[in-house]
Structures are given as C-alpha cells and as structure tokens.
Amino acid sequence: MSGRIMFPGQHYIEQINLIINCRGTPNEATRTQITNEYALKYVESLPEKPKVDLQGWFPNHPPEAVDLLDKMLDMNPKTRVRVAEALQHPFVENLHDEEDEPDFEGTIDFSFETDPSLDLVKIQRLILKEISFYNPDYERYIVA
C-alpha cells in the first residue's frame, strides 16, 4: 500500500523483529506453527510486544484496505485469510467476479526446499530463469 517493502529485513533475525514489532508477539497457537526450533526459541526469548494498529501506518487509506491487509498479515497460517475469503472482502468487492476466479486444484511440489545443493547462487539463477520465462529481456542475466 505504500509502494515499499513493509518488513525490509537484511537477515532472518531482523525480519522476525520487524514483523513482531508490527504484528505483536505471536500467541501460543501461532507459535505452534513455527517449525524452525531456533526461530521458535528466538521468538520466545523476546519481550512481549503489542500488535500495532495498521491504520496508523496507513492513515490515508480506506479502513477496508487496512482491514484486508491486517487479515493477510496474520502470522498464523491457520487463521490467515484465504484467497477465496479475501476475494469476498468489502475492499475488493467491486473487483470480484466468481466466473473469472478459478480455484487451483492440485498440489505444489516444494521438495526443492530440502535440496542440499541449493545455494544462494542457484536460487538466484532459478528465479531469473522463471522471470525470463515471462520477460525474455532477463535472459541476459542468467549466468551458466
């Protein structure tokens, strides 16, 4: 909504701090969703933080827009607004067209995340390859 990255952390610790400073300390149900034991220990070591009212961050935006953003930034994936629910939200109701919103049926393979050969350079190459599929101008950035 601001045109800038909301939580511009340089590393995962800073990212966690920025998110918690805005969204507040995760409750017990949300902490059970944190699968990385080190991240969980770190989060549990932090002092309690209240959730910030996003309307203060975006005072010139409609309350409906801020409400939708708040629902999308829920830290708990089990309670976070689903796409179908978000499409029903009052902020986007004038854009909603059930005839043109197919549901994805299938599964997404995330097995690449456990590939031990996957390093930063390889990830960058894969991202550029994906981008160049949609925008061939980026092919020149792909280094073999």
pLDDT tens digits for 79-135?
Answer: 999 988 998 899 998 888 888 877 788 999 888 888 888 888 888 888 888 888 888
Please write down the long-range contacts of 115-119, taking CB distance under 8 Å and 24 or more positions apart.
none
Asked if residues 9 and 21 have their Cβ atoms less than 8 Å apart, the reply is no
Question: Got the DSSP string for 85-107?
Answer: HHHTSGGGGGG--GGG-PPP-S-
Query: H or E stretch including 20?
Result: helix 12-23
pLDDT tens digits for 5-43?
Answer: 999 989 888 999 999 999 999 999 999 999 889 889 999
Mean pLDDT, range 42-57, rounded to an integer: 95
> Which CATH architecture group holds 12-100?
Orthogonal Bundle (1.10)
pLDDT at 144: 62
CA 87-90-95 angle, 5° bins: 55
